[in-house]
Amino acid sequence: MERARVYYINSFLLFCFFFFPFLSIMFLSRFNLFIYSSLASIQSIGNLGIGAVFFFFHILIN
């Protein structure tokens, strides 16, 4: 039960960090696209860090 809850939380966070920027690019305004393009480098660095942390926790859980 605990393992499943951690899996769902990690999946939700990964969805927020990886897919929400792409959804905002596709569906929201050009102004939001401008904001995303200005933050793209920070976002990619953050995604790499979050992915590394999730991979580490995945190894720990298993």
* CB-CB contact of 25 with 39 (8 Å): no
pLDDT band of residue 6 (cuts 50, 70, 90) is confident
Q: What residues make up the domain containing 37?
A: 2-61
Whose structure tokens read 């039960």?
1
Query: Is residue 54 scored above 60 in pLDDT?
Result: yes
pLDDT at residue 5, rounded to an integer: 77
Tens of pLDDT, residue by residue over 9-51, are 777 777 766 666 666 655 655 555 566 565 665 556 566 666 6
Number of domains in the chain: 1
